[in-house]
Amino acid sequence: MDSKEAEARARESIKQRHSKVERIFFRTMYREENLWILRGEVRFKRALFFIVNKSFELRINMDTREVIFYEEKPLPQLKAK
């Protein structure tokens, strides 16, 4: 499994979790033993006008090509002055 295949598998997994994905941005992607670890940001719609931005970490087993870990955290919001 190379990096392009890991990225494609990650995109597929995220799109299964969120039906209205607008953007997926990968910040870091690296291998550790037999895992691909990908970190980045996802932007998706929850309702008609409600957009959510979250950071994520995703781990893919290189042997089985399955996502074995997925975690999302809210991004800090900038406050308007």
Whether residue 19 is predicted with pLDDT greater than 90 in this model: the reply is no
Q: What does the pLDDT look like over 33-62, one tens digit per residue?
A: 999 999 999 999 988 888 899 999 999 999
Specify the CATH number for 3-74; select among 3.10.450.50, 3.30.1180.20, 3.40.50.720, 3.90.950.20: 3.10.450.50
- Domain positions in the chain are 3-74
Count CA atoms within 13 Å of residue 61 on its CB side: 7
pTM of the model: 0.85
